[in-house]
Amino acid sequence: MSQIALPFAWPAVEDERDFCRGEANALALRHLEHRALWPVMATVLTGPRKSGRSLLGRIFVAHAGGRLIDDADRRPEEELFHAWNRAQADRRPLLLITDAAPPLWEIRLPDLRSRIAATPHVAIGEPDDALAAALLERLLGQRGLAAGPEVTAYLLPRIERSYVAILQIIDALDQLALAKRSRITVPLAREALAALGVIDDS
């Protein structure tokens, strides 16, 4: 599993190494890599919480310029309307990150609704096995938790394929390792899964 490798011939930004590339985000990455092909200077990016969507947005804006509006579906619609118009006038991309695209994102302002309807939408999906493994390894490494490949191999078939579930098991492993002053082992991973109610270890 490779880390993000946006083919922009740009210098890497600091956070770029924290983004894992996989099938779940490949479509969104391709779209952002080819912003010259966008029909309008805006895109709606959706994806599950903790999927790296905000990090991807910051990386994109750091490289491409323009503006990022996170949690756009919780922002005043007039603000989004003016930001969309400004992006077209300035020819600078606008990236709107939301939990869902229309029609699940209910937009009341007619002028904004029509503009978002003309705006491309790309989504990050839940992680597949390869991305889940890469995320487990990256998060363990970020927290300084030593774990061999057998731990990831043990966890993968037993955890839900979601970013939140991956973070939950990392948190549980971190707490147990600290409490027991232990490295991450398969028995410790089994104990963490039992504590989360994922397996019955009674």
What CATH number belongs to 14-123? 3.40.50.300
pLDDT digits (tens, 9 = 90+) for 162-194: 999 999 999 999 999 988 888 899 999 999 999
Report the half-sphere exposure of 156 (CA within 13 A, side-chain side).
16
Angle CA 115–65–121, to nearest 5: 35
pTM: 0.84
Please check whether the domain covering 129-195 is classified as CATH 1.10.8.
yes
Contact 45, 122 (CB under 8 A): yes
Contact 46, 121 (CB under 8 A): yes
Q: Look at 60-64, 65-69, 77-81, 123-127 and tell me which has the smallest mean pLDDT.
A: 60-64
Whether 14 has a pLDDT exceeding 90, the answer reads: no
The model's confidence at residue 202, banded by pLDDT at 50, 70 and 90, is very low
Is the Cα torsion angle 128, 121, 112, 89 positive or negative in sign? Answer: positive
Two tokens at 107? 């937009």
pLDDT digits (tens, 9 = 90+) for 43-58: 999 999 899 999 999 9
33 Cβ contact partners less than 8 Å away, ≥ 6 residues apart: 6, 7, 8
Say what the pLDDT of residue 129 is. Answer: 94
The model's confidence at residue 200, banded by pLDDT at 50, 70 and 90, is low
Say what the pLDDT of residue 18 is. Answer: 76
Domain boundaries, the chain: 14-123, 129-195
Angle CA 186–192–197, to nearest 5: 125
